[in-house]
Structure 1
Amino acid sequence: MTYLPLHPRSAALIFGLLLLSSWAGAQVDSSAVQPGFVGSTAQYRMSKDSLDAPVDYSSRDSMEVDLERQQIHLYGEARVQYQQINLQADHIVLDYGTNLVVAEAWPDSSGTPRGDPQFSDGGQEFSAKTIKYNFKTQKGIVTETVTTQDDVFVRGGKSKFVSGAIQTNDSTRSDVIYTEGAIFTSCSLDHPHFGVRTSKAKVVPNKLAIIGPSNLEIMGVPTPFWLPFGFFPLKSGRSTGLLFPSDYQYSQQWGFGFQGIGWFFPLGEHVNLQATADIYLNGTFTLNTATSYRRRYKYSGNFDFSYRHLRQENRELQQFVDRGISLGWRHRQDQRAHPTFNFGGSINFQTNLADQRFLNSYEAVSTNVIRSSMNITKNFPNLKSTLTAGLNHSQNNQTRQISVSFPDARFQTQTIYPLRNLPGNLNAWYKKLSFRYTSQLKTEFSGSDTTFFTQQTFDEARYGFQHSANSALSLNVLKYFNVSPNASYSEVYYGKTLEYFLDPSTIKTEEVIDDEGNVRIDTTSFASIASRLNPGLASYRTFNAGVSVSTQLFGTVRLGGKGLFGLKGLRHVMKPSVSVSYSPDYSNARDYISGLPYFIQENMIDPARGNPNRFVTPFAGQIFSAPSMSDLSFRASYSISNLFEAKVYSRKDSTDNIVKLFQNIGVNGSYNLGADSLQWSTISVGGSTRFFKGLSQVNLRATLDPYMTVFDPETNRVERINRTTLSDRGVPFQLNQFNGTISTNVTVAKIRQLFQGEEEEYVTDIAEERRQRREEENTLFEETDILSLFEKFSIRHTLNYSLDREVSDVAGARDTLRFNTTANSLELRGALQLTENWSVNVGQIGYDFTSKRITYPYLSFARDLHCWEMRFSWAPQRNTYQFSIAVKPGTFDFLEVPINQNRYDGQRLFGN
């Protein structure tokens, strides 16, 4: 926001006009008029002391040269331009006898003044009702000026300016403007709704405005808020300065306070630092820092840190202090920065549930898991490989457990064909042999958020290294069959393994008096098997090989003509696949480095009570898991995927459409040729489909077992036995588990498409589809009926259910299927644009039928008051609300009347 007066270079522009007038005087008489005049001094021969550049001038209506009065008049969208200086008005008068230039509006055919003067110089500009400037004294008078800087409008009454009045630096002088009755505001109206009215002001354009006695004015009415003096920085771009509070608060527990007060620091050319604080009188405060950085064509990012110190009282008036920190870092490398190297990701971390406990937004409350990922990726084109290293983090806000993997490095090659360059036919089978190598180094730290930064976390850290090699070959046999032999080898190394021992602390005894009155000690609980991590290098190796055969089968049913009720045909695509795999027996394997066995029988640890049929492994619970406990495995696996489609005749456009009835209905299982019992595995069946043009999605999955299951009281588990259901019950298999999910997402627009018979749209360009949705969300719908008000509303329903087989010997044998509803919730979201200025937003409101409670409702409405806005938001589940009438975000957004209640005041009042 700065006044931009006529620059000293304007004198050069005036001289150009004088030169133009001398030429015009030689061509026309006094008061001569030329309609629609356009010209430039570049077409004339200039003297040595003339201007450095040509002067361009034009007028829509005419130019008049009055030699008698020594004046030049330009009418109708008059414009004069010299280098960076541009003066526009509907009437420009040059009086070269008095060295004055005057620009003003000019009445149109109806007598209404049009075309206020506009002056710009090097991108800076201002407008006024009249401009009068003496190029000789370099002083001028401007009336009713309007200048802007960012979002601030400065409306002055009568102003005087002096060109080059003060020295800015060794080579530059700055103008100074003296104005009376100016108002500083962010309202764009001619009569602003609010502003800071000052009796006098001194303005250094692009530098600083110093104001005298001033007061806040609302709707033209002065308020008691008065200032003896003030400063307004007018420098464009980044500069160090005070950040006014963004909000004023009152809390019954925290007292009066304000939010967002701080300071802005530009750190060099590419970095900005913003330090703010939220401060309350009773000692509650939050310290925030926000750093952003950017280098064009290289990288960009930001770093945020908050420390929250909360002093509060419970309902019993007991005081306590709660603290928490949160930090975030987001970095993005430009794709053009480096062709083979990339660094980027995001880090999010908090302690003591800092965001959920201190913030009232729905996003903060509903986030259950916080994740971070920051990685460095290096591609090696000559080696056809990629190296990725970085940090991965997850934090569960419900269990409050933190898991950090650092360093987490992975090296892998692309699919390599080592024999492709050998001589021979390009389609030779040996040229299709492929190879891939992968290795990974990983260290994992885990613990609760209250004890994570302790020695215990480092003592319990797990780390390991894994590398594997895979080889495969793809062959086409008998034209219709794909045969793919494969083999893989893997090695895993750990720095810590589990040592098993009998824990004497679990032994419990009690004194018992027998019938003879003697006291004896009975053991009620024996020592149990426990484990502890011991450092030391240990490893295990696995190998497997196999071959798979796959093909595709097609079946069609065609109906002639227009079909049966529009159904013209059915199509079934079946993709069967059979594979045979081999893996050796690991039950007696032993690590050659540490000598540890892969598996240990329980009776080797507890000879008295250990079960010889149960095994434990030193590699349990590690980051790369443990070897599979199995004998020699020679397994045949099968899988069948199915797709059902229908061809339907559309009466709307007389075309045939393909409709997917069922998508990817799959069946898979296996048979172990090397086992002496329980050779058949369970059978997994699953599929999905959509209904009502994609409004509802259905996913189904079932587990079938060809063997009987019984309850083992010793292990307290349900186990399979080597007896088939066909021999016991006369059925080929029994249903062990069935899971189903039905999810529906309905919008008013989708309902209209459904009932109006509009064809379903298939999205091909995801980015374009998202862009169109964002535009639709920001568009005010034209109200054509009552449903048009709810165009942005959506209703989501999710139902998860299951059938689980329960086998028990409690109160006799029991074998039954139990129906369970794991999730059943209804959710409403959307925005309701009542008028152009009134809007209602339903952030979320729903009901969970399983827990029989409302799921975090969040409602708000807003009223646009031009340069002001009124907002109200309410989260009844957290007993919080916020109401404010404030200036829209910008320079003056610290002008606000807030009324709110935080969650801690709500807890104190309502106890939840």
Structure 2
Amino acid sequence: MQLFSAFAQNPDTSLRSKRAIISSDSTVLDSSLVKLDSTLHTKTDTVKKKSDFEDKIVATAEDSTIYDAKHNIVHLYGKARVVYGDKTVDANYIRLDQKNNTIFAKGTIDSLGHFSGPAIFKDPSQGALTADSVYYNFKTSKGKIYQVYTEQEGGYITGGKVKKQEDNELHMKGVVYSTCSNPYPHQHFGIVITKGIATDRQIVTGPAYVVIEDVPLPIVLPFGFFPKPNRRASGIIFPQFGEDATLGFFLRDFGYYIGLNDYWDMTLKGGIYSKGSYEGNIASRYMKRYKYTGNLFFSYASRKYGVEGTPQYEHPQRDFNIRWSHSQNPNARPGTNFSASVNAGTSTYYRNNANGIMDFNQISQNNLNSSISYSKTWANSPFNLSTSLTHNQDLTRRTVSLGLPSLNFSMSTLNPFDKKDRVGEQKWYQRIAVGYNLTADNRLNTTDSMLFKKESLSKVQSGIRHNIPISMSSRILKYFQFSQNINYTENWYFQTIRKKYALAPTPTGTKDSTSIDTIQGFRRAGEYSVGGGLSTKIYGMVNFKKGKLVAIRHVLTPNIGFSYRPDFSQEKYGFYQEYVYNQAGDRTKYSIFEGSLYGGPGGGKSAAINFGIDNNIEMKVRSTKDTTGNGIKKIPILQGLSLNGNYNFVADSFKLSTLSFSGRTFFTEKLGVNFGGSLDPYVYQTYIRNGVTMGRRVDRYLWQNGKLPRLASFNFSFDYSLNSSTLGKNNKSNNPPTPGGNNETFNRLNASELAQLQQISRDANAFVDFTVPWNFSFYYNFTYANSGLLKTYSQTLSANGDFSLTPKWKVQFTTGYDFQMNKISATSFNIYRDLHCWDLSINWSPFGSYKYYGVNLRVKSSILQDLKLSKRSGYQSFY
């Protein structure tokens, strides 16, 4: 339509030909005898007189060109082309009637009955249009197109007859609209428009029906109206229908899409159930290129369970959930950053809305976390500022912790006594480094049921913490690194507590109790500590002259340190007080900052030696990949095998702490093992009181009884991942390319490779990579705890992966096994079938608390996303 308009607005008078046969009586002459040159000015002028063309036309043909001077018609045969400005018409035959201002182009049929050389219109600004034949009048701007084939924004219009009116209106008859890229007439599906009118802004159709594999379906639309605005369009979102065994028949996900502008859109959805439940949600996306991007989601639902008249029905469960994410381009405002990641709501939202969510990862989560943060860094300055609002919610315990807000101002360490223009090594005082950090917090810990009540305001805790670390390090005796540090911390509080003894009544009398009063007012508490440390590295190596093994190297890193902290529970500091805690008049100390944000200064003097040792063992082997034979490859055997502890000389008892150990090793490049635990050096005694076995630690070392320290805890874990690309000659990344962002791998994909990366859900980032035949990974975790009286352990194995049954079938799975519970954990299968222009997906969880299945057959293209067939059984539904 737009191509025709361009021809009508820019006519031409000049005609050129590579090979021409020109005769006033249409007699065919040899092409070598007659040519358009300077001797033909008379005929050229005659053409100008009778033509309405105003722009230059260049006409060529591979076979022959016949000019009928009497009727002022040019016939072009064999790969004919007419170029009009930047517009082009190609066909096996073109007739240009300058007298009547018309052009006719069509394909031809050879002696074998094969059709070739269809009419092709090309416009750089509008694309290409292909048809069996085209007739167009430049003067009236009317035309006819037969058996059209054109692509329009991801869709294809094919077949039938199209008539163009002078007001750019198109009348269509028998055309097919499809998003299948197969050449016509072999498209897998389409919508047949029996009659229709198309303008620049809308399409209005008469009866239309769906055809799949040339089979018409009994799905007929009596009429249709499709707007085509030049901006983001708004429109109705079709609902889902079904039945839920608990909530009844439903109409769900019915809504309206609003294209607010080029940077912001919004989707409104809702649903109702026959037994009285309802739900609604708002989803919005926004983006400004090179500035920021984000999305917002809010959902509210009211669920009625049971039957009418029961408490569950009369008092429905109301749930809400809000999610917001915002990210700023780092280059938008260098030095400052604002980001948000919010996920908050009622603790029962995901459980009660499982049928609508159908995402096991969301439904099975136990915690919700949120953070809204702003940070600023001053250029050429050591100062940094950050502030944040945080939210942590335990869905199992139904507890909520809010940071309202938190602020952090810090200064990176600097050397105040060093000179910028210093020459030579630093002197000892020039190595002194000083830092500063200020933290201000407001925190509320409560339950979700009390969150929005006035009583919760009195539970808000506030405080400010100042920390000044001072350190210095130097090398002594050439091989030892010696460090010293002084750390001062001061906390500011706006409330403290006082404890008093009280008698609490009981059914049989009274019992000892304690009352706690909160005292408002500013109080400060400062504490300090000093320390030092000494460390070095010891190297050992064993070389081998024969075989692939070249050497084994052992790096031993011992360290020892000393720390001192005074007893801040002494009366002179005023941080602790005493109170009577029983009827006998016994007294005990307590901190007036107990239960506060940062706690009070520690009670009891500490003068401790800290000690530790770290080991790294690796071997060197000759690499078989090095053709010179001199290549050496390092293989880690044991990394980070460490043992740490401390001994407090001034403690009343249990001076030696438990000993912690950890390490990691790699059997292969893909298989890594982590382990750790703790050793208790003290004797543990058990005894029986009132028929109950009890136990306690005794201040006596086990080796004094000829025994080794007791294994108090131990954890062991490893994971392994493997895919087909890592075994091939051309290793690829384990992470498949994903659309969007600055993914170089994805950006390098050509059209055929990109077609294999299929979108399989409404989520624009949910893609299945059909290019990788298989992936597999698993994770094993073992934990053990021994309190001396009770031993517990847990052992779990989880696995996930995917594999391609054929180039078009992909199966994904997630499963696991709990050895302690002796049962399979949550298991799900996702099966995908690439049907060229369709997608088939099957989601199935065969057993467990969230047993479900879902089958979806839908068109890939988002233009016809509502053309789908869905069948599913929810977590609570049996249908």
Q: Distance in 2 between matches of 1:904 and 1:542?
A: 57
> Residue 765 of structure 2 aligns with which residue?
none
1:197 to 184, 192, 206: 192
Distance change in 2, residues 1:737/1:149 (3 Å): same
Pair 1:830-2:829 in alignment: no
What is aligned with 2:514? Answer: 529
Structure 1 residue corresponding to 2:816, chosen from 843, 846, 852 = 846
Corresponding residue number in structure 1 for 2:129: 126
The alpha-carbon deviation at position 230 of structure 1 amounts to 1.7
Secondary structure at the counterpart of residue 3 of structure 2:
coil
2:797 aligned with 1:804: no
> Of residues 402, 425, 428 in structure 2, which corresponds to 1:427?
425
Shift of the 214–539 alpha-carbon distance from structure 1 to 2, 3 Å rule, reads same
Q: Which amino acid aligns with 1:343?
A: F
Cα contact 2:580–2:586 (8 A) shared by 1: no
Contact 1:869 1:887 in 2 (8 A): yes
Give the conservation status (yes or no) of the 8 Å contact 1:149–1:236.
no
CA 721–896 in structure 1, closer or farther in 2 if over 3 Å, else same: same
SS of the residue 1:560 aligns to: coil
Amino acid of the structure 2 residue aligned with 1:186: T
1:367 to 365, 368, 390: 365
CA distance in 2, matches of 1:694, 1:277: 47
The 2-side partners of 1:557 and 1:761 are apart by 36
TM-score by structure 2 length? 0.84
Q: Find out whether 1:622 has 2:596 as its counterpart.
A: yes
Runs (5+) with no aligned partner, structure 2: 36-43, 759-769
Structure 1 position 410, deviation (Å): 0.6
- Out of 857, 862, 867, the residue aligned to residue 890 of structure 1 is 862
Whether 1:870 and 2:840 are equivalent positions in the alignment is yes
- In the other structure, the counterpart of 2:144 is 141
User: What residue number does 2:492 align with?
Assistant: 493
CA drift of 1:236 comes to 4.3
Structure 2 residue 327 is the aligned partner of structure 1 residue 332: yes
Using the alignment, how far apart are the partners of 1:54 and 1:503 within structure 2?
106
Change (3 A) 1:150 1:23: closer
Q: What's the counterpart of residue 813 of structure 1?
A: none
Residues 129-148 of structure 1 deviation map (CA, whole Å, 9 limit, x = unaligned) = 22211112211110112344
8 Å CA contact 2:22, 2:28 repeated in 1: no
On the 8 A contact 1:31/1:67 being kept in 2, the answer is no
- Say whether residues 1:605 and 2:605 are aligned partners: no
Q: 1:137 to 1:458 in 2, by over 3 A?
A: same
TM superposition shift of 1:350: 1.6
Contact in 1 for aligned 2:512/2:582 (Cα 8 Å): no
Shift of 1:897: 3.3
Inter-partner Cα distance in structure 1 for 2:724 and 2:18: 70
1:210 aligns with 2:204: yes
Identity of aligned residues (%): 24
Which position in structure 2 is the counterpart of 1:814? none
1:582 aligns with 2:551: no
Q: Which residue of 2 aligns with 1:162?
A: 165
SS in 1 for 2:352: helix
User: Following the alignment from structure 1 to structure 2, what is the Cα–Cα distance between the partners of residues 99 and 790?
Assistant: 58
* Contact 1:178–1:201 under 8 Å retained in 2: yes
Q: Does residue 313 of structure 2 align to residue 342 of structure 1?
A: no
Aligned partners of 1:58 and 1:344: how far apart in 2?
Answer: 61
Q: Are 1:684 and 1:703, in contact at CA under 8 Å, matched by a contact in 2?
A: yes
In the TM superposition, residue 385 of structure 1 has moved relative to its aligned partner by 1.0
Distance 1:97 1:773, change over 3 A: closer
Output aligned runs, 1:710-721, within 5 Å: 721=698
Are 2:10 and 1:8 aligned?
Answer: no
**Equivalent position amino acid for 2:560 in 1:** V
Matched with 1:449 is 448
3-state SS in 1 of match to 2:452: coil
Contact between 1:460 and 1:533, CA under 8 Å: does it hold in 2?
Answer: no
Distance 1:281 1:56 in 2: 70
- Per the alignment, do residues 765 and 278 of structure 1 end up closer, same or farther by CA in structure 2, a change over 3 Å counting? closer
Residues 773, 600 of structure 1: alpha-carbon distance in 2 compared, 3 angstrom cutoff: farther
Distance 2:307 2:619 in 1: 64
Shift of 1:220: 4.0
| Greater relative CO, 1 or 2 (CA 8 Å, sep 6+) | 1
What secondary structure sits across from 1:891 in the alignment?
helix
Separation (CA, whole Å) in 1 of partners of 2:75 and 2:479: 90
Partner of 2:620: 647
Q: Does residue 681 of the first structure (1) align with residue 657 of the second (2)?
A: yes
Counterpart residue number, 1:169: none
1:329 CA drift (Å):
0.8
What is the CA distance between 1:609 and its match in structure 2? 5.0
CA displacement, residues 656-683 of structure 1 (integer Å, 9 cap, x when unaligned): 3211111101122223344465443332
Deviation of 1:337 after TM superposition, in Å, equals 0.8
Superposed CA deviations along residues 195-235 of structure 1, whole A, max 9, x for unmatched, are 44333111103x10111233444444444443332201223
Deviations 1:181-201 (A, max 9, x none): 233333344244444433311
The 1:315–1:236 alpha-carbon spacing in structure 2 relative to 1, beyond 3 Å, is: same
Q: 2:549 aligns with which of 558, 567, 570?
A: 567
Residue 313 to residue 861, structure 1, CA distance change in 2 (3 Å): farther
**SS of the residue aligned with 1:458?**
helix
Query: Does the 8 A contact of 1:8 with 1:138 survive in 2?
Result: yes
CA contact (8 A) 1:21 1:65 kept: no
- Larger mean CA deviation between 73-82 and 359-368 belongs to 73-82
- Supply the AA of the counterpart residue of 2:342: I
Evaluate the alpha carbon distance shift between residue 352 and residue 368 of structure 1 in structure 2; reply closer, same or farther with a 3 A threshold.
Answer: closer
Quote the Cα distance in structure 1 between the aligned partners of 2:111 and 2:665.
69
| Alpha-carbon separation, structure 1, partners of 2:226 and 2:30 | 49
CA separation of 1:762/1:72 partners in 2, compared to 1, >3 Å: closer, same or farther?
A: closer
- Structure 1's 537 and 881: CA in aligned 2 closer, same or farther, altered over 3 A? same
Distance (Å, rounded) in 2 between the aligned partners of 1:435 and 1:57: 83
- Bigger Cα displacement from structure 2, 796-805 vs 314-323: 314-323
**Aligned residue number for residue 697 of structure 1:** 673
Q: 1:144 to 1:484 in 2, by over 3 A?
A: same
C-alpha deviation, 1:99, in angstroms: 2.0
Q: One-letter code of the match for 1:114?
A: S
Is the contact between residue 248 and residue 897 of structure 1 (CA under 8 Å) also seen in structure 2? no
TM-aligned CA distance change 1:846 to 1:730, over 3 Å:
closer
- Give the distance between the partners of 2:358 and 2:618, measured in 1 at CA: 48
CA 1:21–1:57 in structure 2 vs 1: closer, same or farther (change >3 Å)? closer
SS at match of 2:877: helix
CA distance in 2, matches of 1:789, 1:124: 31
Distance 1:717 1:374 in 2: 48
State the one-letter code of the partner of 2:852. Answer: T
TM-fit CA distance, 1:772? 6.6
Distance 1:778 1:697 in 2: 39
Q: Aligned pair 1:550/2:535, yes or no?
A: yes
**Structure 1 stretch 119-128 or stretch 535-544: which is displaced more?**
119-128
Pick aligned residue for 1:235 from 219, 222, 229: 229
Distance in 1 between residues matched to 2:742 and 2:694, nearest whole Å = 51
Residue 355 of structure 1 aligns to a residue whose secondary structure is helix
Aligned equivalent of 2:282 = 289
Aligned-residue Cα RMSD (Å) equals 4.2
The alpha-carbon distance between structure 1 residues 295 and 799, as it changes in their structure 2 partners (threshold 3 A), is closer
The corresponding residue for 2:644 is 668
Paired with 2:755 and 2:127, the residues of 1 have a C-alpha distance of 32
The separation in 2 between residues aligned to 1:421 and 1:51, in whole angstroms, is 83
- Residue 526 of structure 1 aligns to a residue whose secondary structure is strand
Deviation at 1:764, TM superposition (A): 14
CA distance in structure 2 between the aligned counterparts of 1:576 and 1:58, rounded to whole angstroms: 88
**1:744 aligns with one of 719, 728, 732:** 719
TM normalised by structure 1 equals 0.81
1:856 is paired with a residue whose SS is coil
Residue 472 of structure 1 and its aligned partner are, at CA, apart by 1.6
Give distance in 1, aligned partners of 2:487 and 2:53. 83
Q: What residue in structure 2 maps to residue 812 of structure 1?
A: none
In structure 2, C-alpha distance between the alignment counterparts of 1:540 and 1:777, rounded to whole Å = 63
Aligned match of 2:634 = 658
